[in-house]
């Protein structure tokens, strides 16, 4: 994940590298303790803020340090991890006051909340050394670094997390200054139309052929979940089976991300501008009851990957309005059909054009993207 800030052709890049870490028994205890204390202090601070807001109608400016006298065991964990909890909670409150639709901050559950904590680099307290990562309050943790880290990159923060499968990861956030990629003239365009089957269709007539990893593993997943439901809660067999279910979900997620990274990298390398529809995927998943189909595709994540990869290369992602009638317009003569049902998979026009409905829509999206690009150029 990357963000770009352009200043006089020099940009600051925040780049995260996620690595697998292998803590020993003592280090695992310290990580779990830090995760638990972070959750505890978040809930304590939130409860006090809520009580103060009910009385004073103002947000309480409390800090983790004020709780250490009452709970001395909070001193055993990294203080910067607790400071980040305060920042996250205050940003959640500010977001609620700016956008009430975001919802009021909620308490973190011990069972269902994400198991992670974030700490910052101060005076070289966190660093990489060979095959080890040094973290505060513990000895160096063994890691697997899958890509070289440039010496020009400056480490800012680390987020340590534990997946439901029991694996530990560290997300390293680096900051570096790079010469801004020069925007090149767009010559090669491609249009992409979202599809329930295969994720998307291209204006070239090809399909992404997404393998529907979740759908293909659904029977196995259901079988493993049935076994879990028969186990006694809290028993060793329950814990083992819960881990098997988590590993199934993790494999599906990894397969999906691998496919999306390869597809987005190929498009960013071969085309100057990619034209897509600006769809409300959340509304499609809920309102039209296409939940599994839309979420299994991971189309939104694919678009975010594609956007930053095009940005890196000085290329363009052009978003066409979601109300643009891409399916109803003939890509040859431009005539618009008044009615077109979802069951009509072949687009037929009076001009003699006969082609796949999704390919026709992708060509229209590409043509509309070219028009938008010409206006903005």
| Contact by Cβ (8 Å): 200, 299 | yes
pLDDT tens, position by position, 104-152:
889 999 888 889 999 999 998 999 998 999 999 999 999 999 888 888 8
Question: What are the tokens at 248?
Answer: 């199934």
Strand 316-320, strand 273-277: pairing: parallel
Banded model confidence at residue 300, pLDDT cuts 50, 70, 90: confident
210-253 confidence digits (pLDDT tens): 898 988 899 999 999 999 999 999 899 999 999 999 999 999 99
Whether the pLDDT of residue 160 is over 90: the answer is yes
pLDDT digits (tens, 9 = 90+) for 311-322: 888 899 999 988
Per-domain residue ranges for the chain?
2-179, 189-217+253-376
Question: Would you state the pLDDT for residue 180?
Answer: 57
Q: What is the pLDDT of residue 24?
A: 96
Residue 4: predicted pLDDT: 37
Query: How many C-alpha atoms does 178 have within 13 Å on its Cβ side?
Result: 20
* pLDDT grade for 1, boundaries at 50, 70 and 90: very low
Q: d(Cα 49, Cα 61) in Å, to the nearest integer? A: 8
List active site positions: 193, 277, 358
Q: Say if pTM beats, i.e. exceeds, 0.75.
A: yes
- Chain-centre distance for alpha carbon 253: 11
Amino acid 299: pLDDT: 86
Please state, in angstroms and rounded to a whole number, the distance separating the CA atoms of residues 120 and 126: 8
47-51, 87-91, 97-101, 136-140: the lowest-pLDDT one: 97-101
Q: Which CATH number fits domain 189-217+253-376: 1.10.357, 3.30.420, 3.40.140, 2.40.50?
A: 3.30.420
């Amino acid at each position: 994940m990357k963000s770009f800030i352009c200043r006089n052709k020099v940009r600051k890049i925040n780049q995260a590298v996620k690595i697998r870490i292998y803590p020993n028994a003592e280090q695992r205890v310290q990580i779990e303790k830090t995760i638990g204390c972070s959750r505890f202090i978040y809930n304590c601070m939130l409860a006090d803020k809520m009580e103060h807001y009910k009385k004073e109608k103002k947000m309480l400016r409390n800090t983790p340090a004020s709780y250490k006298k009452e709970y001395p065991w909070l001193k055993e964990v990294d203080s910067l991890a607790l400071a980040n909890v305060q920042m996250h909670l205050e940003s959640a409150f500010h977001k609620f006051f700016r956008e009430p639709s975001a919802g009021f901050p909620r308490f973190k559950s011990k069972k269902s909340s994400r198991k992670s904590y974030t700490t910052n680099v101060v005076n070289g307290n966190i660093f990489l050394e060979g095959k080890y990562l040094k973290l505060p309050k513990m000895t160096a943790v063994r890691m697997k670094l899958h890509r070289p880290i440039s010496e020009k990159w400056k480490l800012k923060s680390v987020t340590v997390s534990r997946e439901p499968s029991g694996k530990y990861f560290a997300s390293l956030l680096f900051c570096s200054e790079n010469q801004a990629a020069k925007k090149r003239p767009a010559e090669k365009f491609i249009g992409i139309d979202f599809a329930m089957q295969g994720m998307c269709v291209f204006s070239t007539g090809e399909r992404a052929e997404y393998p529907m990893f979740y759908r293909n593993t659904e029977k196995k997943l259901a079988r493993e979940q049935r076994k879990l439901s028969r186990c006694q809660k809290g028993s060793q067999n329950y814990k083992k089976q819960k881990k098997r279910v988590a590993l199934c979900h993790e494999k599906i997620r990894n397969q999906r991300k691998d496919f999306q990274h390869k597809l987005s990298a190929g498009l960013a390398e071969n085309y100057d501008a990619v034209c897509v529809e600006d769809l409300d995927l959340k509304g499609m998943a809920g309102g039209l009851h296409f939940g599994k189909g839309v979420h299994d595709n991971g189309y939104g994540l694919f678009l975010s990957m594609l956007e930053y990869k095009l940005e890196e290369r000085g290329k363009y992602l052009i978003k066409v309005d979601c109300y643009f009638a891409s399916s109803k317009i003939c890509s040859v003569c431009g005539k618009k059909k008044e009615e077109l049902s979802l069951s009509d998979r072949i687009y037929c026009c009076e001009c003699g054009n006969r082609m796949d409905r999704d390919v026709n829509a992708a060509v229209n999206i590409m043509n509309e993207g070219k028009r938008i690009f010409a206006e903005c150029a």
